[in-house]
Amino acid sequence: MGLIVAAARNADAPVLVAQNIAFGVIAAIMVFSAFRVVTTRNVVHAAVYLVMVLSGAAAQFVLLGAEFVAITQLLVYVGAIVVLFLFGIMLTRAPIRGEERATRDSWPLGAFTALVLAGLLGYSLTNGFGGDRLPRYCTTAAPLAGSCLSPSGTRAISDAIFSTYLIPFEVTSLLLLAALIGAIVIARRD
Partner 1 sequence: MILGLHLAYWQTSVIRSLGVLVAVLLPAGTFVYIFLFKMVSFMQSRLGPMEAGPYGSMQLLAEVGKFIQKEDIVPDNADRRLFKLAPYLVVATVLLVYLVVPFGPKMRFVNFDGGIFYALAVSSISALGVLIAGWASANKYSLMGGLRAAGQLIAYELPMVLAVVGVVIQAGTMNLSGIVAAQANGKMFGFGGLGNPYFITQFVGMVIFLIAVQAELTQTPFDMPIAESELVTGYITEYSGMRFLLFFIAEFAAVGSFAAVAATLFMGGWAVPGIKFDSGVMNVLGPIVLMAKMTLIAGVIFFVRFTYPRFREDQLQKFAWTILIPVALANILVTTVLKVAF
Pick the stretch among 14-22, 69-77, 115-123, 169-177 that binds partner 1 (CB under 8 A): 69-77
In 2-106, alpha helices (H): 2-9, 17-39, 43-63, 67-72, 83-92
Whose CA is closest to 46, among 103, 92, 99, 117? 103
Measured from the CB atom, is 75 or 145 closer to partner 1? 75
Q: Scanning residues 86 to 115, which ones bind partner 1 (CB under 8 A)?
A: 86-87, 90-91, 94, 96-97
Measured from the CB atom, is 30 or 74 closer to partner 1? 74
67 binds partner 1 (CB under 8 A): yes
Q: Which of 15, 41, 79, 149 binds partner 1 (CB under 8 A)?
A: 79
- Supply the minimum distance, in Å, between the C-beta of residue 10 and partner 1: 27
d(CA 71, CA 80): 12
Whose CA is closest to 30, among 2, 58, 72? 58
Which residue type is seen at 181? Answer: I
148 binds partner 1 (CB under 8 A): no
